[in-house]
């Protein structure tokens, strides 16, 4: 099956810093999403981005489908950005979403 | 509009018991999928349903079953509970189930003792 790898596994930053999270996947996909899981377990949809670039406030994401990776950028980090960020992909031939193992981000005040 | 709603939010069961978890998708969404997330890991796919038909199944034992109703709500059933079934169970909905944005509910925290 398709493999999804996220890096780094853990990231600790000071408030105001910028960060880049990476997601590599092993096969072509027709769906890629980034999620933020808060401390209460809620998965918040950040981006639906099977290809191209999108921006939403301090967050932006880029997926290069031909090279099988996606990047999530967080600028001017705030403590509320803390949590686990997941990348999830879906292959066109399979009706299931595969999650990476996540990046745990901790923003220190 | 209401988002994806799940019930119950928390529950404690004893080994060997049975549990039913419920999910209502976003209005207009016809696909529901279920995921299990154990502490420290990413969510693992269990089932996907679209228009009341099973579209996909993950690597879970036959103790896990699900169904989707005519109103597109869904139930996940787990029989003969094991300690290892303790996890956060997440439901997600999407328009058609493939190539669409998926939206998650807040989950059901299951503890098996």
What's the CATH code of the domain at A16? 2.60.40.10
Using CB atoms within 10 A of its CB, is residue B30 exposed (0-12), middle (13-18) or buried (19+)?
A: middle
Contacts of B61 (CB under 8 A, 6+ apart): none
Encoding tokens for residue A99? 């999650």
- How many domains, chain A? 1
Report whether A30 contacts B99 (CB < 8 A).
yes
The reply to whether A51 touches chain B by the CB within 8 Å rule is no
pLDDT tens profile B18-71:
999 999 999 999 999 999 999 889 999 999 999 999 988 999 999 999 999 999
pLDDT greater than 90 at residue B98: no
CA atoms within 13 A on the CB side of B14: 0
Q: Does the distance separating the beta carbons of A95 and B97 come in below 8 Å? A: yes
Per-residue buried b or exposed e for A50-86, using 16+ beta carbons within 10 Å of the residue's own CB: beeeeeeeebbbbbebeebbbbbebeebeeebbbbbb
pLDDT tens profile A16-51:
999 999 999 999 888 899 999 988 889 999 999 999
Encoding tokens for residue A76? 């001017």
Radius of gyration of chain A (CA): 13
Q: Which CATH class is domain B5-112?
A: mainly beta
Which chain A residue has the Cα nearest residue B57? A96
The reply to whether A83 touches chain B by the CB within 8 Å rule is no
What whole-number distance in Å separates Cα of residue B25 and Cα of residue B75? Answer: 11
pLDDT tens profile A57-105:
999 999 999 999 999 999 999 999 999 999 999 886 666 889 999 999 9
Name the residue range of residue A59's domain: 4-108
Would you kindly state where each structural domain of chain B is located, as residue ranges? Answer: 5-112
The reply to whether A85 touches chain B by the CB within 8 Å rule is no
Q: Does the distance separating the beta carbons of A30 and B98 come in below 8 Å? A: yes
3-state SS track over B28-74: CCCEEEEEEECCCCCCEEEEEEECCEEEEECCCCCCEEEEECCCCCE
Percentage of chain B surpassing pLDDT 70?
Answer: 99
CA atoms within 13 A on the CB side of B81: 20
């Amino acid at each position: 099956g398709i493999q999804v790898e996220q890096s780094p596994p853990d990231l600790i930053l000071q408030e105001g810093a910028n960060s880049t999270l990476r997601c590599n996947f092993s096969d072509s996909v027709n769906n890629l999403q980034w999620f933020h899981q808060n401390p209460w377990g809620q998965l918040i949809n950040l981006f639906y981005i099977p290809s191209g670039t999108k921006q939403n406030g301090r967050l932006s994401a880029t997926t290069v489908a031909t090279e099988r990776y996606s990047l999530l950028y967080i600028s001017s980090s705030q403590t509320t950005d803390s949590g686990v960020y997941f990348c999830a992909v879906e292959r066109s031939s399979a009706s299931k979403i595969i999650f990476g193992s996540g990046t745990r981000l901790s923003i220190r005040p | 509009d209401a988002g994806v709603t799940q019930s119950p939010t928390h529950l404690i069961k004893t080994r060997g018991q049975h549990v039913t978890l419920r999910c209502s998708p976003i209005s207009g969404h016809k696909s529901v999928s279920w995921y299990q997330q154990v502490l420290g890991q990413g969510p693992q796919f269990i089932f996907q349903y679209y228009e009341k038909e099973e579209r996909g199944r993950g690597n879970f034992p036959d103790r896990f079953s699900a169904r989707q109703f005519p109103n597109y709500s869904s139930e996940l059933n787990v029989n003969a509970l094991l300690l290892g079934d303790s996890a956060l169970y997440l439901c997600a909905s999407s328009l058609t189930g493939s190539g669409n944005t998926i939206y998650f509910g807040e989950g059901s925290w299951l503890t098996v003792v």
